[in-house]
């Protein structure tokens, strides 16, 4: 070993003519400014050193470079920018090889594309996932990937942003070889292969690429149909389309398009969503040791219970499913079996594993006593406080000491449920979202007495189920449903005052929601909301404006999709149509209330809906039900189909500013001062000029 030199974030050593450049910027070796500076310097040093005849770049630690440092996005770019570093690598007069392991993604993979050969360790994943963060491959990826694999394939991997395993990457021609060993050893070995002429090297940028207008037209059409509202995938296609000319021109165009993406609000929203997914794990109980969970009990085999049981089985847990009688149990078991069959169909599970799960890991019984040995029990029975407290009292007598007792309630008071036991410290809310084996979110509802390690167990369970846990406090509806219960009323008011469901739904899907609120109600079942409204009727303040339209629809026996009729009519095999009877009911109710319908523009619909959502979110935050604004964003992104490119309701709120929001609420309050009240937190933010993002920091 000679000439050892250390540089920030990059280690350089020279071994028998090979310059070894190790990127060392934990945790994921992102190509931060320090990395770029030191990498460029290292390449130049190696090029200038006569004793060097091969250069190898690899990652120290768990991965090759996992991408650009996305925390730098939105700040002024600092030289050297990654495209320049990559151009220097490609132009290098000596062979440069990239040794990939872990995840070589985005800007990281672009470094590899600029190298003269790419070797991956088994298990490596490569890819250009930039569009998932609202940008495009901006360090040569749109120009070099098509030169290696052709325009059609390059468009596919860039617009999908998916990760590609080493074998597939080899087959495609994205990499040149798979080799086993430690990255540094492989680097030395492959440098020798280059010297011996056994591993060919070439400059990707010098390869010819054939025009493929059909592929470009194809993908453009597909994106217009499916992702019209997204910005960066379309720009990525434009950049790839420029790859048939001289490299320098294509790169310049790519850079210009990349900068457009960087400036777009969608980039900020998508990166916020990326960080939200990770920020939620930062909880006060993070230091507590989770209790080990091998066997779980699920009480209730309805849609929720069977979905939870499915998620647990898929994650490798043993599950005991309990129902009150044989008939319900058979239904619950059949529902789990159906979910698992679906998982096989979607390629998430193979047939042998499915059979093994059913034979060995799922036990179904009507005997609650069978839960005596369970490490964690989740109850998903009827949403009624008395039913739940009674059940918890029984569980208290059955469950082993130290078992976690969880309720999947979506609204009820977890403290009162916990108080039905002699061990409230072991009780926690685990609020899954339906269908529980598909939806990513779990609200971990922390009661007054919940022990820290029980909270940590909820988070550990969520991780094992590959779900996203968000810490919530106790209140009616926790974070998500409390906010929903509030803003959902805003669309009923809009409907009463002049908008129609078939105008409101597309206005909100146009904003980016996966579904409109009326279509969602039809899907969930209108009877559910009806039951809740009846339950809450006695507690409804006299000043609250009440819209009886949904009740009238329910009185007709129309509960949405499951009855074939609701706000929409669902013809067998056909497309849903607006239910004409609903228009009649709306007219009648307006007439009764003496309301002259007025016109609402789509923008106003969105503004009122979002303002109502943000207002209640601010109250949830102020009440300490959510820890930080970013937790609320995560709840909506992962549990309520909130458009990811908008980052979440409070990220979106910051794009409007507290002043504007307060002004809106005051304006709307002229019509309904009970519903539209300025939350004190928002008023303070407007006065002080602060943003929700400020509360995420620290
Ligand atoms: C790009 O490259 C643009 C270029 O084309 C153009 C340039 C001009 N930057 O996910 P984890 C943090 S766009 C900064 O929990 P895992 C992350 O926040 C980029 N930080 O680990 C977390 O921090 P904390 C293209 C990053 O093992 C910690 O690292 N690249 C970045 O489950 C651990 O992360 C991508 O899209 C980053 N790029 O998964 C890849 N990445 O501990 C994005 C992560 O404080 N990254 N952090 O919460 C990933 O997909 C996953 O992080 C990865 C590891 C698969 C790498």
Q: No. of H helices and E strands in the chain?
A: 29, 20
Share of the chain above pLDDT 70, in %: 99
Which residue's CA is the nearest one to ligand 1's atom 30?
67
Name the residue at shortest CA distance from atom 19 of ligand 1. Answer: 67
Radius of gyration of the chain (CA): 29
Averaged pLDDT of the chain: 96
Residues 45 and 150 in one domain: yes
Helices 629-639 + 480-497 axis angle, to 10: 70
DSSP label at residue 76? P
Same domain? 466 vs 519 = no
Helix (H, G, I), strand (E, B) or coil at 19: strand
pLDDT category of residue 2 using cuts at 50, 70 and 90:
very low
Residue with the larger pLDDT of the pair 532 and 558: 558
Pair (559, 635) in one structural domain: yes
Whether residue 150 sits in one domain with residue 91: yes
Closest atom of ligand 1 to 275 CA is 18
**Predicted confidence (pLDDT) at residue 336 exceeds the cutoff of 70:** yes
Domain boundary residue, one of 479, 503, 529: 479
Whether 106 lines ligand 1, by a CB cut-off of 6 Å, is yes
Q: How far is the CA of 649 from the centre of ligand 1 (A)?
A: 23
Do 572 and 562 lie in one domain? The reply is yes
Give nearest CA residue, ligand 1 atom 55.
Answer: 103
Task: Return the ligand 1 atom nearest residue 161 CA.
Answer: 36
Distance from residue 333's CA to the centre of ligand 1 (Å): 40
Residues 475 and 485 in one domain: no
3-state secondary structure of 116: coil
Structural domain contains residue 273: no
What's the 67 CA to ligand 1 centre distance in angstroms? 7
The answer to whether residue 274 is domain-embedded is: no
Closest CA to 303 of 525, 580, 47, 540: 525
403 neighbors 375 (Cβ within 8 angstroms): yes
Candidates 23, 25, 27, 271: which one to mutate for ligand 1, based on the most atoms within 8 Å of Cβ?
27
Q: Are strands 376-379 and 295-299 parallel, antiparallel or unpaired?
A: parallel
Atom of ligand 1 nearest to the CA of 71: 14
CATH of the domain at 680: 1.10.1040.50
User: From CA 379, how far away is CA 83, in angstroms rounded?
Assistant: 54
Ligand 1 pocket residue status of 139, Cβ below 6 Å: yes
Q: DSSP readout, 427-446?
A: EEEEEE-SSTTT--EEEEE-
Say yes or no: 567 and 660 in one domain: yes
**Mutation choice for ligand 1 from 26, 64, 67, 272, CB with most ligand atoms inside 8 A:** 67
Task: State how many domains the chain has.
Answer: 3
Question: Do 467 and 515 belong together in one domain?
Answer: no
Does residue 130's CB lie within 6 angstroms of at least one atom of ligand 1?
Answer: yes
Residue 60 CA to its chain's centroid (Å)? 28
Mean pLDDT calculated for residue range 452-473: 98
Domain boundary among 426, 447, 479: 479
Q: How sure is the predictor about 698, in pLDDT bands with cuts at 50, 70 and 90?
A: low
Q: Are 632 and 692 in contact (CB under 8 A)?
A: no
Residue 458 lies in a domain: yes
Cα of 482 vs centre of ligand 1, distance in Å, is 32
pTM reported for the whole predicted model: 0.94
CA separation for the pair 28, 12 (Å, rounded)? 19
Query: Residue 514 corresponds to which tokens in the numbers above?
Result: 């996966």
Domain-embedded: residue 288: no
Q: In this predicted structure, which of 63-67, 155-159, 224-228 has the lowest mean pLDDT?
A: 224-228
Atom of ligand 1 nearest to the CA of 110: 5
Nearest residue (by CA) to ligand 1, atom 22, is 278
| Structural element, H or E, at residue 146 | helix 141-149
Q: CA quadruple 513, 518, 523, 529: dihedral positive or negative?
A: positive
How many Cβ atoms sit within 10 Å of the Cβ of residue 413? 19
Q: Regarding beta strands 177-178 and 117-120, do their DSSP bridges make them parallel or antiparallel, or are they unpaired?
A: parallel
Angle between helices 265-279 and 247-263 (to 10 degrees): 70
Q: Is residue 133 within 6 Å of ligand 1 at its C-beta? A: yes
CA distance 261 to 141: 15
State yes or no: cis peptide before 69, omega within 30 of 0: no
429-448 pLDDT tens trace:
999 998 999 999 999 999 99
SS3 labels along 77-90: CCCCCHHHHHHHHH
pLDDT at 423 over 90: yes
Phi, psi of 389 (to 5 degrees): -65, -40
Coil, strand or helix at 468 = strand
CA of 28 to the centre of ligand 1 (A): 6
- Helix crossing, 141-149 with 232-241: angle to 10°? 60
Report whether 83 contacts 131 (CB < 8 A).
no
Tokens of 187: 């680097």
Q: Do 526 and 458 share a structural domain?
A: no
Residues 6+ apart with CB under 8 A from 546: 540
Residue 495 CA: distances (Å) to CA of 221, 235, 486, 674: 35, 38, 15, 18
Residues carrying an active site annotation? 110, 130
67 lines ligand 1 (CB under 6 A): yes
Within 13 A of 630's CA, how many CA atoms are on the CB side? 22
- ∠ CA 129-133-137, nearest 5°, is 50
240 and 381 together in one domain: no
Ligand 1 closest atom vs CA 77 = 8
Residue from 298, 269, 319 nearest 405 by CA: 298
Do the beta carbons of residue 415 and residue 427 sit within 8 Å? no
Q: Is residue 606 part of a domain?
A: yes
> What's the CA gap between 570 and 555, in Å, rounded?
18
Q: CB of 138 closer than 6 A to ligand 1?
A: yes
Residue 524 confidence (pLDDT) above 90 = no
Q: How many whole angstroms from 647 Cα to the centroid of ligand 1?
A: 17
- Compute how many other C-beta atoms are within 10 angstroms of the C-beta atom of residue 593: 12
Q: Which atom of ligand 1 is nearest to the CA of 82?
A: 8
Q: Could you tell me if the CB of 35 is within 6 A of ligand 1?
A: no
Mean local confidence (pLDDT), 210-235: 95
From the CB of 295, is ligand 1 less than 6 Å away? Answer: no
Look up the CATH number of the domain holding residue 467: 3.40.50.720
* Residue at which a domain ends, from 479, 496, 519: 479
Chain segment 582-617, per-residue pLDDT in tens: 999 999 999 999 999 999 999 999 999 999 999 999
365 to 232, 321, 332, 360: CA distances (angstroms):
51, 6, 10, 14
DSSP state string for 188-209: HHHHHHHHHTSS----GGGS--
Distance CA 68, CA 53 (A): 28
**CA nearest to 477, candidates 445, 503, 451, 509:** 445
Distance 150 CA to ligand 1 centre (A): 27
Query: For the segment 81-137, what is each residue's pLDDT rounded down to a tens digit?
Result: 999 999 999 999 999 999 999 999 999 999 999 999 999 999 999 999 999 999 999
Ligand 1 center–CA 182 separation, angstroms: 22
CB within 8 A of 513, min separation 6: which ones?
641, 642, 643
- 3 state SS of 27: coil
Q: Answer yes or no: is 286 within a domain.
A: no
User: Mean pLDDT across the stretch 315-323?
Assistant: 97
Please give the residue range of the domain that contains residue 223.
2-263
Residue 35 has pLDDT above 50, yes or no: yes
Residue 18 pairs with which residues in a beta bridge?
15, 54
ipTM of this complex prediction, to 2 decimal places? 0.99
Q: Does 176 contact ligand 1 (Cβ within 6 A)?
A: no
CB 653 within 8 A of CB 603: no
For 323, residues 6+ apart whose C-beta sits below 8 A from its C-beta are 299, 300, 301, 329, 331, 332, 364, 366
Give distance in angstroms: CA of 103 to centre of ligand 1: 10
pLDDT at 6 exceeding the cut of 60? no
**pLDDT at residue 138, rounded to an integer:** 98
Residue 650: both structure tokens together: 């409070």
Tokens 């010297």 found at: 195
Which helix (H) or strand (E) covers residue 503, if one does? helix 501-511
CA 306-309-313 angle, 5° bins: 135
Q: Is residue 91 in some structural domain? A: yes
Q: Exposed (0-12), middle (13-18) or buried (19+): which is 599, by Cβ within 10 Å?
A: exposed
Atom of ligand 1 nearest to the CA of 70: 9
Ligand 1 pocket check for 135: Cβ under 6 Å = yes
The verdict on residue 269 lying in a domain is: no
Same domain as 131, residue 11: yes
Determine what percent of the chain falls in helix, strand and coil, rounding each to the nearest 5. Answer: 55, 15, 35
Residues 99 and 147 in one domain: yes
- Look at residues 571, 573, 536 and name the one whose alpha carbon lies nearest to residue 551: 536
Distance CA 268, CA 245 (A): 31
Q: What is the CATH number of the domain that holds 14?
A: 3.90.226.10
User: Which is nearest to 305 in space by CA: 280, 273, 328, 279?
Assistant: 328
The whole-angstrom separation of Cα 326 and Cα 321 is 12
Query: 105: Cβ below 6 Å to ligand 1?
Result: yes
- Spatial separation of the C-alpha atoms in residues 670 and 548, rounded to whole Å: 22
137 lines ligand 1 (CB under 6 A): yes
**In the numeric block, which tokens belong to residue 637?**
């992104």
Instruction: Tell whether the model's pLDDT for residue 312 goes beyond 60.
Output: yes
């Amino acid at each position: 070993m000679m000439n050892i030199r250390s540089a920030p974030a990059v280690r350089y050593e020279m071994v028998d003519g090979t310059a070894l450049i190790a990127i060392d910027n934990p945790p994921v070796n992102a190509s931060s400014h320090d990395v770029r500076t030191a990498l460029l310097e290292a390449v130049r040093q190696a090029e200038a050193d006569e004793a060097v005849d091969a250069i190898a770049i690899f990652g120290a630690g768990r991965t090759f470079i996992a991408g650009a440092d996305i925390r730098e996005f939105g700040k002024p770019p600092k030289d050297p920018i990654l495209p320049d570093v990559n151009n220097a690598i490609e132009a290098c007069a000596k062979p440069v090889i990239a040794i990939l392991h872990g995840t070589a993604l985005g800007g990281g993979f672009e470094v590899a594309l600029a190298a003269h050969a790419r070797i991956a360790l088994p298990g490596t994943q490569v890819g250009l996932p930039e569009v998932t963060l609202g940008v495009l491959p901006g360090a040569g990826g749109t120009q070099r990937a098509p030169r290696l694999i052709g325009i059609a394939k390059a468009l596919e991997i860039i617009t999908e942003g998916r990760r590609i395993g080493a074998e597939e990457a080899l087959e495609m021609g994205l990499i040149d070889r798979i080799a086993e060993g430690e990255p540094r050893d492989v680097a030395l070995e492959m440098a020798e292969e280059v010297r011996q002429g056994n591993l060919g090297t070439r400059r990707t940028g010098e390869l010819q690429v054939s025009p493929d207008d059909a592929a470009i037209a194809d993908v453009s059409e597909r994106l217009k149909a499916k992702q019209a509202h997204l910005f960066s995938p379309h720009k990525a296609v434009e950049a790839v389309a420029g790859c048939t000319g001289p490299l320098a021109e294509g790169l310049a165009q790519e850079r210009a398009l990349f900068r457009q993406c960087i400036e777009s609000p969608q980039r900020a929203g998508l990166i916020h969503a990326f960080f939200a997914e990770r920020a939620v794990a930062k909880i006060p109980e993070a230091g507590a040791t989770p209790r080990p969970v091998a066997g779980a009990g699920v009480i209730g085999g309805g849609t929720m219970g069977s979905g939870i049981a499915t998620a647990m089985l898929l994650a490798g847990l043993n599950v005991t499913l309990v129902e009150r009688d044989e008939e319900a149990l058979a239904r619950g078991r059949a529902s789990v079996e159906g979910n698992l069959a679906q998982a096989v169909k979607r390629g998430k599970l193979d047939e042998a594993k499915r059979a093994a799960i059913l034979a060995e890991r799922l036990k179904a019984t009507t005997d609650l006593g069978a839960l005596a040995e369970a490490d964690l029990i989740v109850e998903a029975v009827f949403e009624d406080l008395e039913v739940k407290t009674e059940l918890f009292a029984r569980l208290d007598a059955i469950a082993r000491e130290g078992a976690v007792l969880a309720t999947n309630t979506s609204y009820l008071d977890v403290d009162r449920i916990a108080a039905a036991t002699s061990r409230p410290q072991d009780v926690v809310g685990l609020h899954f979202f339906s269908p529980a084996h598909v939806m990513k979110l779990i609200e971990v509802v922390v009661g007054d007495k919940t022990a820290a390690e029980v909270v940590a167990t909820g988070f550990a369970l969520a991780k094992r189920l590959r779900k996203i846990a968000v810490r919530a406090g106790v209140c009616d509806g926790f974070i998500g449903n409390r906010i929903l219960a509030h803003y959902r009323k805003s669309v009923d008011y809009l409907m009463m005052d002049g908008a129609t469901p078939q105008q409101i739904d597309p206005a909100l899907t146009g904003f980016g929601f996966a579904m409109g609120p009326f279509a969602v109600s039809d899907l969930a079942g209108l009877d559910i909301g009806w039951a809740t409204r009846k339950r809450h009727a006695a507690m409804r303040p006299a000043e609250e404006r009440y819209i009886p339209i949904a009740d009238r629809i329910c009185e007709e026996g129309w509960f949405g999709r499951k009855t074939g009729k609701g706000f929409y009519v669902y013809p067998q095999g056909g497309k849903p149509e607006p239910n004409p009877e609903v228009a009649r009911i709306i007219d009648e109710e307006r007439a009764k209330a003496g309301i002259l319908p007025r016109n609402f523009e789509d923008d106003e619909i969105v503004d009122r809906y979002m303002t109502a959502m943000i207002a209640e979110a601010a109250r949830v935050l102020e009440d300490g039900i959510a820890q930080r604004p970013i937790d609320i964003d995560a709840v909506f992104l992962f549990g309520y189909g909130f458009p990811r490119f908008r980052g979440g309701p409070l990220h979106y709120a910051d794009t409007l500013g507290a002043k504007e929001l307060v002004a809106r609420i005051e304006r709307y309050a002229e019509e309904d001062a009970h519903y539209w009240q300025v939350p004190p937190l928002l008023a303070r933010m407007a006065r002080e000029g602060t943003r929700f993002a400020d509360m995420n920091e620290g």
